[in-house]
Amino acid sequence: MAEESLKKKTVKGVAWTSLDQVLSLGFSFVIGVILARILSPSDYGMLAMIAVFNAIAMAFVNSGFGNALIRKPDLTEDDNTTAFSFNIVVAIVMVGVLWLVAPWVAKFYDKPILASLLRAEAFLLVISSLRIVQNTQLSRALNFKAKMIINATSQVVAGVVAIVAAYRGFGVWSLVIQHYVSNVTGLVLLWILSPWRPKGHWDKASFSYLWGYGSKMLASNLLDTVYGNIYPIIIGKLFSAADLGQYSRAKGYAYLPSTGLTSVLQQVTFPVLSQIQGDDERLRDAYRRMLRFSVFLVFPIMIGMAALAYPLVVALVTDKWAPCVPYLRVICLASMWYPVHAINLNLLQVKGRSDLFLRLEIIKKAIITVVIFVCVPFGIMGICYGSVFTSLACLAINTYFTGKLINVGFFRQMMDMAPTLLNSLVMGAAIYLLTLLLDGNVLKLAVGIPAGLVLYLAVAWLFRLPELKEAINIIRRR
């Protein structure tokens, strides 16, 4: 009975989170296209230059406490209030740090405006700190309907305001305004829709538990954040802001579906799997189903995007963004593995092995460091190809520890993914060849996208892939 209830919660959670991500991806894509047609690559490049500093500061603010709260079986009000207080204090400290380092960042890139941009973005940390525990409570309760309402509303409001600002000539500041409106709107809605309020007290024992788990996650997240932004730092320093803007646009398009669709499963499965963390057999079965289903969604989108990269970019955001097309094609091949990475690492958190999580990050970052030194002399394309190599190398490392914990290692995972990978590659090759016969970018998209979808689903149905049935069931139970 408990297992059936958990399954219903999971299906319901996936349905609401799927709707959330569909809306989020759709709104983000449409708003991004409009803004990209108005703003210049340099505008996006300048914001990308400071992104790593904001991301590092946010990692400190969170400190892994959110996941620690989700996986704690006997959560108390003191636990929540301790995390809430800690997040706010660290956010204020981080604002001061970013304010002080802003002039040095501007000097490093030789762009004075970056000091003002970084200082303006810094205050978003305080707003974000007021949302962490509230978001955690909604995730723990599997209340993804409320999260969908919050995310969709804040994204639309912020997007409309940003577009108006861009049309009025605010340039890069339009993107800063978008961040503020999104965060403030989300904060207000979160406090309206979430019943939780800080009622407990700061507790030393609670902090000891949260820090014991979260500190290792913090170290891991810091490594991941720094290395996740290392290429923009290098490109921003060695090349122009426009070059970085092209790279960032390509990376943004490639990561939009892969990270968005993966988060559907992550947001639902982490709290759900945390409830069965002691039953390895159930955990193993649920994990493999999650893995197969996630790549069933992500692989065809990423390979299809790589095949249709040129008509997609030029038709949507004009040929001023055409230089990003080669980057986009290669980055798609790297980011398509993101759900596999994320789900493997998610398992380590579910099992409470934040020590292994940290060890993995250190090993992977050492590999990335070597690849950086090898690939940077070959320019931005060299960096893109290097990201494909590091993605596959890190995949092998991540799956090694998963194999140790629940006996689902690299080869078993690859066998689980093989039918979907082969189906996606066939579909990608078919639509690429088809578009060579057509004239006009809009026509190529109008024919290529539905043709690829029909071919992919037809092959999945022909070979009776169980993931197709799961997708249909989720749609029926939404």
Residue ranges per structural domain of the chain: 39-228, 231-478
Burial code (b: 16+ CB inside 10 Å, e: under 16) for 88-116 equals: bebbeebbeebeebbeebbeebebeebbe
Q: At what angle do helices 309-317 and 241-274 cross, to 10 degrees?
A: 110
Range 180-196 average pLDDT: 89
471, 464 contact by CB (below 8 A): no
pLDDT band at 23 (very low <50, low <70, confident <90, very high): confident
How confident is the model over 65-101, as pLDDT tens digits?
A: 776 777 676 778 888 888 888 889 989 999 999 999 9
Residue 219, Cβ neighbours under 10 Å: how many? 18
Number of helices followed by number of strands (H, E) in the chain: 21, 0
CA distance 134 to 155: 18
The total of other beta-carbon atoms located within 10 Å of residue 378's CB is 12
Place of tokens 């090759």: 429
Nearest Cα to Cα of residue 120 among 98, 89, 90 = 98
Q: At what angle do helices 338-350 and 354-375 cross, to 10 degrees?
A: 150
Residues 31 and 252 sit within 8 Å (Cβ to Cβ): no
In angstroms, the CA 116 to CA 102 distance is 8
User: Is the torsion defined by CA of 314, 315, 318, 324 positive or negative?
Assistant: negative
Q: What dihedral do alpha carbons 367, 370, 371, 373 form, nearest 10°?
A: 160
Query: What is the C-alpha to C-alpha distance for residues 74 and 417, in angstroms, rounded to an integer?
Result: 36
Distance between CA 298 and CA 262 in Å, rounded?
8
Q: Is the pLDDT of residue 384 over 80?
A: yes
If we measure between CA atoms, which residue out of 58, 67, 66, 98 comes closest to residue 84? 66
Least confident of 174-188, 235-249, 396-410: 396-410
Q: What Å distances lie between residue 264 and 70, 131, 290, 297, CA to CA?
A: 16, 19, 11, 11
CB–CB of 440/303 below 8 Å?
no
Q: Let me know: does 348 contact 356? Beta carbons within 8 Å.
A: yes
Q: Looking at per-residue confidence, does 216 or 109 come out higher?
A: 109
What digits encode the pLDDT tens for the residues 281-325?
777 777 788 788 888 988 999 999 999 999 999 998 889 999 999
What residues contact residue 434 under an 8 Å CB cut-off, 6+ apart?
447, 448, 451
Q: Which two tokens stand for residue 123?
A: 């205050």
- 107-129 average pLDDT score: 93
Place of tokens 């704690």: 72
Phi, psi of 79 (to 5 degrees): -60, -50
Which tokens sit at 283?
């955990």
Give the least confident one: 142-156, 174-188, 344-358: 344-358
Most trustworthy range by pLDDT among 22-36, 177-191, 285-299, 356-370: 177-191
Handedness of CA 317, 321, 326, 327 (dihedral sign): negative
Residue 352 DSSP label = T
State if pTM tops 0.85.
Answer: no
Residue in this structure with the two tokens 């140790």, named with its chain if needed: 404
Q: Which tokens is 217 given?
A: 């996650």
